[in-house]
Amino acid sequence: MTQDALPISSPQTDSLAAGHSLAQDAWLRLKKNRMAMAGLYVTGALSVLCFLGPTLLHALAGYDYESQDLAYGPRAPSALHWFGTDYFGRDLFTRVLCGGQISLTVGLLAASVAACIGTLYGALSGYVGGRLDSFMMRVVDVIYALPYMFLVIVLVTIFGKSLPLLFIALGLVGWLMTARIVRGQVLSLREREFVLAARNLGVRGGAILFRHLIPNTLGPIIVYFTLTVPSMILQEAFLSFIGLGVQAPRPSLGALISDGAQHMAVFWWELVFPGGMMALLLFSLNFLGDGVRDALDPQLRGRS
């Protein structure tokens, strides 16, 4: 058999030869993890509730996150207001759902920005190698040595406190670990048979990078992405807690927790319900992320 006729084999084709894809294999293992599936269902239910709930509440009861009723004031949970009302008479249930919507949006978009930057940076560094690889990794080391939250605060302070700039700022400093993971994967894949065969067939470097190397690093990228989302939500909550995140009257879970902490001795529901939503969301996302990590672990393949 000539060199040009060599079959191109990759981890993806190896899995197909076994009778099912990597995604199907991972899904079968994920379904066996009860905590991960519980996290998936809770995350899905909370997402639907947060994104559809405020619209339904506004249509059915006339509630929205910014309408104030100072005469009504803060009231404990009741049949009229399930989570009670805040200091300004606003329905807390609506505001918690809107806060969860913003936190989920910021977490997903910031993690996506971090994943895209880290994947491209790490893949290029690992594929090129040599002095350029060393230089690019030293840049990562220098940025990694700086306080993460300090960089975010500086970016938010310089470029403003708008919602789009918030998830961009979080993503711009959250890509470092993704870059390291992808670089390590590319270093181990670039000398594999399917990459060598593609080179011998005349495939250009860019095509090899985007058609062969990056697709075969999607497993670790997906795992780290699922673990990055709750981290980004927590970072956004902290920024909103100190007043540098989402600005009033738009609510976020961090801002609601900050407001509730000021009145928790008297109006306990202002802290308990936003804090409970944040805890439930983070727990479910972390359980889901751990389950995805175990499902995509190559050492577990073939045991299901």
8 or 259: which carries more pLDDT confidence?
259
**Segment 265-281, tens digit of pLDDT:** 889 999 999 999 999 99
Q: Compute the average pLDDT of residues 32-36.
A: 90
Q: Going from the N-terminus, what domains does the chain have, and what CATH number goes with each?
A: 22-61+68-300 (1.10.3720.10)
Evaluate whether 99 touches 252 at the Cβ level (below 8 Å). yes
**Segment 16-25, tens digit of pLDDT:** 444 556 677 8
What tokens does 185 get?
A: 């994967």
pLDDT over 60 at 298, yes or no: no
Residue 40 makes CB contacts below 8 A (sequence gap 6+) with: 30, 284, 288, 291
* pLDDT reported for residue 3: 43
Cβ burial, residue 150 (10 Å; 0-12/13-18/19+) = exposed
* pLDDT reported for residue 302: 47
pLDDT over 60 at 14, yes or no: no
Residue 267 makes CB contacts below 8 A (sequence gap 6+) with: 74, 84, 86, 87, 260
* pLDDT reported for residue 21: 66
Band the pLDDT of 247: cuts 50, 70, 90.
confident
What is the rounded CA–CA span in Å between residue 225 and residue 231?
A: 10
* pLDDT reported for residue 276: 94
What is the rounded CA–CA span in Å between residue 106 and residue 249?
A: 17
Taking CA atoms, 162 is separated from 145, 150, 157, 267, in Å, by 27, 18, 10, 30
% the chain with pLDDT above 70: 90
Alpha carbon 51 to chain centroid distance?
17
